[in-house]
Amino acid sequence: MKERMPRNGTKWKLCVIVGGEADPHQTAEAVLKEGAGVIQYRGKGKPGRVQLREAAELRVLTRQYGADLVINDRLDIAMLSDADGLHLGAEDLPVPAARRFLDPGRMIGATAHSLYEARQAEKDGADYIGFGSVFATRSKKGVPVSGVEALEEAVRKVGVPVIGIGGITPMNIREVFKARAAGAAVLSFVSGSSHPGGAVRALLKPIRGLSTESGDGHAGSH
């Protein structure tokens, strides 16, 4: 996992979530061209066969760009599409159950909204934590805002990489990396843009000047 997701965040600096749009391949290609290192596919509400087809297309595309592909929720789609990993929310399969079926070389991420949940996810065997919502978000109404301080605490006290998620924009993305998160995951700012590639350029610009040490996502003490 540490090799797949370097603690300097070089590949995982920016994860873009796609799948809700009619053509996720088009969105993914636009953001990969601009430097996104990870595509997370979230095809909720779409038929299983459509999700598998779209995931398989994204697998080919991400390999062309040397990027990682993570599938949200669906263990079967992750396995059948040969994805690099699976991301599980609180209402999805437990991490230990998914690990029984997923190749040990594939990563499993887990969502956490608090330090308690982050520690539990690490205990369960998650390879990384998606922590948030760091800021208020349009994509998941009703989800409590954890805040930057909670993100920073999770990074310090959890021994696996922590990714900030929720309400991230070019105006606040530096705060995520100043909290020493390993990366940022973005949905609304990109999916809601008529120019996804331009949205990614805008997200990456504020953090290009940051040293790798400020975004390594490593906990110095557990």
Task: Give CA–CA dist 121/175, Å, rounded.
Answer: 24
Bridge partners, residue 41, by sequence: 18, 71
Q: Is the pLDDT of residue 216 over 50?
A: no
Q: Cα dihedral sign for 53, 55, 57, 59?
A: negative
Average pLDDT of span 88-93: 94
8 A C-beta contact, residue 52 and residue 77? yes
Mean pLDDT of the chain: 90
What integer pLDDT is reported at residue 208 of this predicted model? 86
Give, as one character, the DSSP assignment of residue 144. Answer: P
Q: In the predicted model, what is the mean pLDDT of residues 78-102?
A: 97
- Residue 5 is predicted with a pLDDT of 53
The runs of H, that is alpha helices, within the chain are 24-33, 48-64, 75-80, 95-101, 115-124, 148-157, 173-178, 188-191, 196-204
Tell me the C-alpha to C-alpha distance, in Å, between residue 207 and each of 87, 104, 121, 175, 219: 25, 32, 28, 10, 20
3 state SS of 134: coil
What's the rounded mean pLDDT across residues 20-30?
95
Q: What percent of the chain has pLDDT over 90?
A: 82
- pTM, entire model: 0.90
Q: Kindly state the average pLDDT of the residues 39-56.
A: 97
- CA atoms of 42 and 191, how far apart (whole Å): 12
Q: Answer yes or no: is pLDDT of 209 > 50.
A: yes
Q: Report helix angle 196-204 to 24-33, nearest 10.
A: 40
Q: b/e map of 145-174 (b: 16 or more CB within 10 Å)?
A: ebebebbbbbbbbbebbbbbbbbbeeeebb
Quick check: 213 pLDDT over 60?
no
Q: How many other CB atoms are there within 10 angstroms of residue 115's CB atom? A: 17
Asked whether 81 and 55 are in contact (CB, 8 A), the reply is yes
Q: Can you tell me the distance from the alpha carbon of 219 to that of 222, in angstroms, rounded to the nearest whole number?
A: 6
Q: Average pLDDT for residues 23-31, to the nearest whole number?
A: 97
Q: Which of 57, 71, 59, 67 is nearest to 34 (CA)?
A: 67
Q: What is the pLDDT of residues 58-82, one digit of tens each?
A: 999 999 999 999 999 999 999 999 9
Superfamily of domain 14-215: Aldolase class I (3.20.20.70)
The pLDDT of residue 140 is 63
Tens digit of each residue's pLDDT (9 = 90 or more) over 120-174: 999 999 999 999 999 998 766 667 899 999 999 999 999 999 999 999 999 999 9
Q: Which of 171, 84, 96 is nearest to 135 (CA)?
A: 171
Q: Where are the domains of the chain?
A: 14-215
